[in-house]
Amino acid sequence: SKHRIAVIAGDGIGQEVMPEGLRVLEAAASRFNIELQFDHFDFSSCDYFERHGKMLPDDWKDQIGGHEAIYFGAVGWPDKVPDHISLWGSLLLFRREFDQYVNIRPAKLMPGVTAPVVRRDGSPRLAGEIDMVIVRENTEGEYSSIGGRMYPGTEREIVVQETVMSRIGVDRVLRYAFEVARSRPKKHLTSATKSNGIAITMPYWDERVAEMAKQYPDVRVDKFHIDILTAHFVQRPDFFDVVVGSNLFGDILSDLGPACTGTIGIAPSANLNPDRTHPSLFEPVHGSAPDIAGRQIANPIGQIWCGAMMLDFLGHRAAHDAVMQAIESVLSPGSGAPRTPDLGGSAQTSDVGKAIEQALLGA
Ligand code: NAI
Ligand code: MG
């Protein structure tokens, strides 16, 4: 059956990396006999804002809500629209309105990429040595709108913002994380906590982890307080497999993980609605990169990798694996394949996209 995908390239380099993502998806579709229908939308961009005074049309939910997935580039152009307006008016709305309660980011050290974190003895980490998936709760927790400001502008000023954890909200993201852990060879799940300091919500989180763990006796579970956990990410990233955290802790770890594995240009992410009641969204970790936009030097691999994640989510595991293999073969040192400047090469964005397409088609 045909998969309907809403394509939103957005701003800046989103416009440059998206065609490469689509190129590779088309190639995967033809090799694996998958029917993909791409519907392009120009909203959720600062250009759209300039023309319409808002980020989205009023009927945006009708326009993209029926798609299975949203393939997203990047949004944001601070010179035109303040970041909080562009982000809250688009991406963050999608997450909440489409109930994308899992944010997932793989952090894997790829061949041909030098990790900024080294071993204790100072030697470099090897490809594959770091291979983890960070699972972040994406709809509640510390990012609530419950709270307020009293006596503003006076000496007595008080600000309060509550953390909200619901049993349904915590359990559903934990279940997802346990399932991911179970599906991987190491079957190891680490929970990020801070139950020594945050004495109500975090002990609750720990309690739900322990409860869920009973249903997954095959998964090895441990937990670390977020402060030491960040140190472990840097000092022994090879220890981790799947790491799950609340909205705030997951946010921090999901930037730190990819940072430990090299360039931001290759890191992918997905905002998932595992119940499939609304579309899930697949986007690279990076933003619109105004500093390099318009020069065809952006690395398209982050965009292409999220395309692979999307194929996996749509049920096409073999196509996912083939795209990943193509990416790895192009990144491999000695492959002679083109590399963008962030990886020390001088190739253009589309050169890299074409090389991955060729590798995928076995040409
Ligand atoms: P950024 O990720 O756009 O850029 C950070 C640095 O990484 C820049 O030096 C950039 O040149 C480099 N970089 C990013 N992607 C690259 C790629 N594919 N290849 C090579 N180099 C790459 O983050 P920044 O500059 O903080 O934000 C720029 C705009 O993007 C802002 O408006 C921000 O709000 C927005 N943004 C949007 C995101 C999204 O759409 N999910 C995520 C992060 C930022
Ligand atoms: Mg973040």
Cα–Cα distances in Å, from 296 out to 124, 291, 293, 336? 30, 12, 7, 20
Q: At which of 234, 261, 288 does a domain end?
A: 261
| 159 plus 234 within the same structural domain | yes
Which residues are bridge partners to 225 per DSSP? 193
Site to substitute for ligand 1 among 83, 86, 286, 297, most atoms within 8 A of C-beta: 286
The packing angle between helices 349-361 and 14-32, to 10°, is: 10
Pairing of strands 131-137, 147-150: unpaired
- 118 occurs within a structural domain: no
Q: At which of 195, 230, 261 does a domain end?
A: 261
What are the structure tokens assigned to 112, written together? 């041909």
- Which pLDDT value is given to residue 363? 63
| 180 plus 68 within the same structural domain | no
| 322 plus 348 within the same structural domain | yes
Domain holding 248: CATH number? 3.40.718.10
| 26 plus 80 within the same structural domain | yes
- 48 occurs within a structural domain: yes
Q: Which ligand is nearest to the CA of 45?
A: 1
| 150 plus 246 within the same structural domain | yes
Type of residue found at 97? E
Give the nearest ligand 1 atom to 300 CA.
18
Domain that holds residue 237: 138-261
With tokens 């989510």, the residue in question is 313
| 88 plus 165 within the same structural domain | no
C-alpha of residue 18 to centroid of ligand 1, in Å: 14
- 218 occurs within a structural domain: yes
- 327 occurs within a structural domain: yes
Cα–Cα distances in Å, from 39 out to 4, 28, 104, 272, 291? 7, 18, 24, 19, 29
- 131 occurs within a structural domain: no
| 238 plus 155 within the same structural domain | yes
- Which pLDDT value is given to residue 150? 96
| 256 plus 142 within the same structural domain | yes
What are the structure tokens assigned to 119, written together? 């071993």
pLDDT along the chain (363 residues), means of 10: 96 98 98 98 96 96 97 95 90 93 96 91 92 96 93 96 97 98 97 96 98 98 98 96 97 93 91 97 96 97 98 97 97 92 95 98 82
**Which residue's CA lies nearest to atom 16 of ligand 1?**
265
- 362 occurs within a structural domain: yes
Pairing of strands 102-108, 36-40: unpaired
Q: At which of 227, 261, 295 does a domain end?
A: 261
**Which residue's CA lies nearest to atom 31 of ligand 1?**
76
Cα–Cα distances in Å, from 61 out to 96, 202, 213? 12, 34, 37
Q: Which ligand is nearest to the CA of 247?
A: 2
| Half-sphere CA count of 318, side-chain side, radius 13 A | 6
DSSP string, 130-187: SEEEEEEE-SSBT----EEEESTTSTT-EEEE--B--HHHHHHHHHHHHHHHHHSTT-
Give the nearest ligand 1 atom to 302 CA.
18
Q: How many domains does the chain have?
A: 2
**ipTM of this model?**
0.98
- What is residue 2's DSSP assignment? P
| 294 plus 231 within the same structural domain | no
Closest among 316, 272, 311, 306 to 286, alpha carbons compared: 306
Q: Ligand 1: residues within 6 Å at CB?
A: 13, 17, 74-78, 83, 87, 91, 264-265, 283, 286-292, 298-299, 302, 342
| 96 plus 142 within the same structural domain | no
- 129 occurs within a structural domain: no
Q: Which ligand is nearest to the CA of 250?
A: 2
| 169 plus 256 within the same structural domain | yes
| 231 plus 344 within the same structural domain | no
Q: Which three-class secondary structure state does DSSP give residue 348? A: coil
C-alpha of residue 136 to centroid of ligand 2, in Å: 10
Q: Give the span between the Cα atoms of 255 and 38, in whole angstroms.
A: 29
